[in-house]
Amino acid sequence: MSNRTLTLTAPLYDYLLAASLREPELLRRLREETAAKVRYPGMQIAPEQGQLMTLLVRLVGARRAIEIGTYTGYSSLCIAMGLPANGQLIACDISEAYTAVARRYWQEAGLATRIELRLAPALETLDRLIADGEADRFDFAFVDADKDGYAGYYERCLTLVRPGGLIGLDNMLWDGAVADPARDDADTVAIRAVTAQIRDDSRVDISLVPIGDGLMLARKR
Ligand code: SAM
Ligand code: CA
């Protein structure tokens, strides 16, 4: 028994996966293909985090979602799988090559009509959505792109989601670097800063969940 969050040892992590992971075969294949053939497979979210995200999308009853940072599509599929048949996910990325893999799996999953890829710097896409009158019209947002962009993405997502909508921000524990005072690189400093900004933001209810590389959840009040 413990009244603080456990350290996940390798055997305990293996147990967690064996005891609770329900990863669809298509997602497992995407994970394996990304690991074998694509650069930087560590950018993909962990499968147990993907399962949590599908659950969260369903819990908020999301119909419209935004993702910032799609890569080969693992997290986009986890979000899209949680949406209803008439749901919509706007997926933002700047890489044609990474998202070509994602598109192939969206097709195979039968979810391609639910996902709209916007290949452009995400800040431009988000500002365009706001300019087009889409404020308060999304239910769920997931931020997982360039870390020095997080503060800007957070503010835009807070505008775009409705009250009661949920924003998830990935990599908020940054492989532990955030807790190492010797680390002062730009990404680590940016993550610490946006974390403090969200902690002190009375517009949201929050939890920093120690799953994967740290998932900050912020629910718009
Ligand atoms: N969420 C993905 C997953 O679970 O598989 C991983 C996303 S990966 C960490 C970050 C992605 O952000 C990369 O595919 C990269 O091309 C994209 N990216 C980087 N800068 C961006 C920007 N300014 N606008 C949109 N996407 C960007
Ligand atoms: Ca990530």
Q: What is the pLDDT along the chain (221 residues), one digit of tens a residue?
A: 999 999 999 999 999 999 999 999 999 999 999 999 999 999 999 999 999 999 999 999 999 999 999 999 999 999 999 999 999 999 999 999 999 999 999 999 999 999 999 999 999 999 999 999 999 999 999 999 999 999 999 999 999 999 999 999 999 999 999 999 999 999 999 999 999 999 999 999 999 999 999 999 999 99
**In contact, 126 and 150? CB cutoff 8 Å:** no
Token pair 């005072």 in the structure block, residue: 181
Q: Verify whether ligand 1 is closer than 6 Å to residue 213 (CB atom).
A: no
Q: How far is the CA of 142 from the centre of ligand 1 (A)?
A: 11
| pTM across the whole model | 0.98
User: How many angstroms is it from 19 CA to the middle of ligand 1?
Assistant: 30
User: C-alpha distances in angstroms, 75 versus 37, 178, 183?
Assistant: 18, 23, 28
Q: What is the rounded distance in angstroms from the CA atom of residue 129 to the CA atom of residue 71?
A: 21
Q: Is the CB of 122 under 6 A from ligand 1?
A: yes
C-beta 174 within 6 A of ligand 1: no
How many angstroms is it from 171 CA to the middle of ligand 2?
Answer: 5
